[in-house]
Amino acid sequence: MAKSGKSNPKPSNPRPQTQPSAGARPALAVDYLARPALETPSDPLLRRIFWGIAALGLVILVGLSWGSGINADDKFQVDYSQKLVKYYSTFGKDTSALKIPDGNMHLYGGFFEVVTGFANKALGFEPTDLAYHNLRHVSSAILGWAAILCAALLGALIAGWRAGIITLIIMLLSPRFVGDSLMNPKDIPFATGYMMALYNMAAVLERLPRPRRWNVIGLVAGLAIALAIRAGGLLPFAILFLFAGLHFWLKNGGFSAFSNGNVVKKYVLVVLGSALAAYALALLSWPFALQSPLKNPLTALSKFADLEVKIRVLYEGANIMSDKTPWHYPLKWILYTIPLAAIAGFAGSLILLPRLFKKYNPLWVSLALFTAIFPVFYVIYKNSVIHDGWRHLTFAYAPLCVAAGLFWNELAAIFSGKKYAQWAVYGALGLLLADSGAFIAANPKLPYVYFNPIVGGTQGAYGKFETDYWGISVRQGIEWMEKQGILKPDMPETVVIATNMYFSAKELTAKYGDKVKVKYLKWEKRCDDAWDYGLYPTRFLDGSAIRNGKWPPENAVHVVKAGGAPILAVLKDTGKNCSLGMAAAKIGDWPAAIERLKAELANVPDNELAWAALGQVYLNADSLELGKAAAEKALEITPDDSQANNIIGMYWLYKDNAAKAKEQFEYSIRKDSNNPAAWYYLAIIARSQGDNQTALNNLMSAIRTAPTFRQAYELSAQIYESVGDPERARQFRAAMGQ
């Protein structure tokens, strides 16, 4: 390993700046990066401690990965993996991996999916086998460990083994990074490639003109892995060129460096050669890029810059679309979910930056800070769409920990002559890591839902921020059902499970064959069909309902918790009254609907769907006051419920109070802009007031939100007919029939 900052104060590769005159000694190029050596008598011991902790970390990560649930995104990842295996097994004849509309997976590099896909095929594992997913999780854990190791090695290269050890410990006690390492096949492998490239580029450049072979291989591998995961892997290529140029300039005396052809050739050979080799390797596991090696990676990069997938996210207590998040979204997520030691250390590294620059190689200190800060700054500057916390920026966390490690190491060095003060530094570091370390120990299957004490822990963040956004806890829910004997091989009857995390539930219950039937039902649609048990994490739930203590509902027979906060509820439906009531309402059987819905509410009084449905039935049956009262009960449980808010608006319409109805529907839209019924009724109100243009604008909003909303098309056609535009009316009626 390189001894960074361990640069010899005398230039390691002296070159004449100008042609010397006869008898004169050659002038040496100025090495602006030279710093005193850092070796100390304790280095051999610290080195052994470093590798001992690293080895223990690998064992822990691999062990934890066996208990992880299935990532909801694996629906796309596993499908892509299977298509990639077919592509390479048929030598490109099976082209299904070249265009995958569902999830756009063809725009991602296939390194992780190719490796794990062929490994699973060789071992005979299928996606319906838990072993198939365990292999993927172990692979992810190993890559996560590799990212942690490379970050620690960069810290050691810059400031010695103690800095490396501190960086290693901070990362191993980072619940979010550790948790993602157990099951995240996109962000963790990318972070690994990124960090591997950063460490090895520093090690290679540090040792020029004679870099170690393994560091060159590591540089090529890191660059290749990053690009072979996602198109954003072009970033470490750019970083390589930037810092190689800076190193060439500063190490070799500025402009005078260009006069030395041998030095120029060496840099070009190592840097450009590594980049070209890495680029070629990356393309080998990416069929889409192979079709057009120069164009398609850039096409993929442009797509990801805007992140086409937009979903509803919970942020600061509000459910908003991911393309509407404020600029501070990634900053607050990072601030609230990383260990306090990482926050204090990173801030401290900025404060001690002049000292760090003076004592250690400033280029590598800058590398750690730049590669941690720039991605976050760029996402904010570009107003990029991100969701699921800051997982899209996971790769920037490792260099952040390097910077934090440098601070804590330097703080200990400042007090090196005062034993008790130095131990106080170590004690402070330990205290600031205690909370995150304890969380991992207490929640080994769900460490990624960690929130730090700044936001009050996971309990403090509950109802304000997403917790188990990947539905990992579904596995724990199913395991509980198995322990209770609800799910077992000799079940006498089929068990129907409803969930909004269909893929993981389906894969984990596949071993029961047709004895278990899994139905995909969103939380707000859970009464649309009958089921025996429901598995619902907090993902996509209304933040207001979570915060007011009405979740989990009273028919929850088991609750999975993490950090004291409910993460998943296992529900039991014994009477099927809610779904039967909904079914009766659809065919206009109001008495049967009322009877069934009231029976549901007798068993589950906090079922907001049943209250809202009952309110709608009462309105349809001309029992306006009962309808309004039922809707208000629904709003007590879920204040932002769209249907209940709409019912209140409809109540005022039936009461011929257009002003109050309009106020209510506008309120409903403020709570949820994707509310087609509210837009539709606002259009009706506007038309009744003679404002056809506003009515048409509202109807277009309804259609954009719900493209199959027939009544919105029909009303639009009627308005155009009334204003003498039959052609436009015809177009809307034609669209309605599609």
Q: Give the tens place of pLDDT for each residue, 464-513.
A: 999 999 999 999 999 999 999 999 999 989 999 999 999 999 999 999 99
pLDDT-based confidence at 252, cuts 50/70/90? confident
Co-location of 495 and 422 in the same domain: no
Co-location of 550 and 625 in the same domain: no
Give strand ranges (E) for 267-394.
312-315, 318-321
Sign of CA dihedral 256, 207, 407, 62: positive
Q: Give how many domains the chain has, as a whole number.
A: 3
pLDDT at 723: 87
pLDDT at 22: 43
Chain Cα centroid distance, residue 553: 28
Q: What is the pLDDT averaged over residues 59-87?
A: 95
Residues 6+ apart with CB under 8 A from 672: 319, 640, 642
Does residue 517 lie in a domain region?
Answer: yes
Distance CA 321, CA 691 (A): 30
Co-location of 238 and 327 in the same domain: yes
Distance CA 198, CA 223 (A): 9
Co-location of 358 and 225 in the same domain: yes
pLDDT-based confidence at 111, cuts 50/70/90? very high
- Asked if 151 and 195 count as a contact pair (C-beta separation under 8 A), the reply is yes
pLDDT at 386: 84
Co-location of 267 and 321 in the same domain: yes
Distance CA 17, CA 176 (A): 50
* Higher pLDDT pick, 126 / 102: 126
Co-location of 421 and 562 in the same domain: no
- Asked if 664 and 649 count as a contact pair (C-beta separation under 8 A), the reply is yes
Q: What is the pLDDT averaged over residues 262-272?
A: 91
Per-residue pLDDT of 6-18, as tens digits, reads 433 343 344 344 4
Does residue 699 lie in a domain region?
Answer: yes
What CATH number corresponds to the domain at position 684?
1.25.40.10
* Higher pLDDT pick, 312 / 626: 626
Boundary of a domain, candidates 422, 442, 462: 442
Q: Is the pLDDT of residue 340 over 80?
A: yes
Does residue 468 lie in a domain region?
Answer: no
Structural domain including 626 reads 596-737
Query: Looking at residue 538, what DSSP letter applies?
Result: S
pLDDT at 729: 87
Co-location of 106 and 239 in the same domain: yes
Per-residue pLDDT of 165-185, as tens digits, reads 999 999 999 999 999 999 999
pLDDT at 14: 40
Per-residue 3-state assignment (H helix, E strand, C coil) for 18-71: CCCCCCCCCCECCCCCCCCCCCCCCHHHHHHHHHHHHHHHHHHHHHHHCCCCCC
Does residue 31 lie in a domain region?
Answer: no
Q: How many residues are listed for the chain in this entry?
A: 738
Q: Is the pLDDT of residue 288 over 90?
A: yes
Sign of CA dihedral 666, 668, 674, 675: negative
State what percent of residues in the chain have pLDDT above 90: 78
Q: Is the pLDDT of residue 307 over 90?
A: no
pLDDT at 21: 45
Boundary of a domain, candidates 442, 464, 494: 442
Does residue 125 lie in a domain region?
Answer: yes
pLDDT at 39: 59
pLDDT-based confidence at 696, cuts 50/70/90? very high
Kindly report which listed range (269-283, 444-458, 637-651) carries the lowest average pLDDT score. 637-651
Report the alpha-carbon angle 672-674-679, nearest 5: 95
Co-location of 255 and 399 in the same domain: yes
Per-residue pLDDT of 588-611, as tens digits, reads 999 999 999 999 999 999 999 999
Kindly report which listed range (34-43, 110-119, 165-174, 445-454) carries the lowest average pLDDT score. 34-43
Q: Is the pLDDT of residue 693 over 50?
A: yes
pLDDT at 41: 55
Pairing mode, strands 495-499 and 312-315: unpaired
pLDDT-based confidence at 331, cuts 50/70/90? very high
Distance CA 652, CA 663 (A): 10
Boundary of a domain, candidates 511, 540, 572: 572
Q: Is the pLDDT of residue 563 over 60?
A: yes
pLDDT at 12: 38
Q: What is the pLDDT averaged over residues 702-720?
A: 91
Helix, strand, or coil (residue 406): helix
Per-residue pLDDT of 625-675, as tens digits, reads 999 999 999 999 988 888 999 999 999 999 999 999 999 999 999 888 889
Does residue 13 lie in a domain region?
Answer: no
pLDDT at 548: 84
Co-location of 555 and 617 in the same domain: no
Average pLDDT value over all residues in the chain: 91
Co-location of 296 and 415 in the same domain: yes
Co-location of 434 and 550 in the same domain: no
pLDDT at 635: 93
Does residue 581 lie in a domain region?
Answer: no
State what percent of residues in the chain have pLDDT above 70: 94
Query: Looking at residue 725, what DSSP letter applies?
Result: -
Does residue 334 lie in a domain region?
Answer: yes
Per-residue pLDDT of 508-525, as tens digits, reads 999 999 999 999 999 999
Co-location of 236 and 364 in the same domain: yes
Q: Is the pLDDT of residue 416 over 90?
A: no
